[in-house]
Amino acid sequence: GNKNLKKVVIGAEIENIGAKAFYNCPNLKLVMIKSTRLKAKTVGAKAFAKIHKKAVVKVPKAKEKAYKKWLKKRGIGGKQKITTYEKEK
């Protein structure tokens, strides 16, 4: 993993995240997901496993329920938080 990575923004047009994409990035504290196109099957296994233990993942309000479900299966849990934000107009 990348020890220098502290924040990542997943753009609005992104449809896929590879397996272990952010695996073992211990200083990754903020993941901002702008895309509403991600699905459980397009996000690889352990994509977010072993990131900072108190990391925050921000997801679009409209996708909160669906994203929470697969984020937990992709490595987010414990003291890590999944929060929402309103999309900028």
- Give domain status of residue 36, yes or no: yes
- Give domain status of residue 33, yes or no: yes
Q: Which domain, by its residues, includes 68?
A: 7-85
- Give domain status of residue 76, yes or no: yes
% of the chain exceeding 70 in pLDDT: 97
Residue 20 confidence (pLDDT): 98
Query: Does this model's pTM top 0.85?
Result: yes
Q: For residue range 9-52, what is the model confidence (pLDDT) as tens digits?
A: 999 999 999 999 999 999 999 999 999 999 999 999 999 999 99
- Give domain status of residue 26, yes or no: yes
- Give domain status of residue 55, yes or no: yes
| Angstrom distance (rounded) from CA 1 to CA 40 | 22
E strands in the chain: 7-10, 30-33, 56-60, 81-85
Q: How many domains are there within the chain?
A: 1
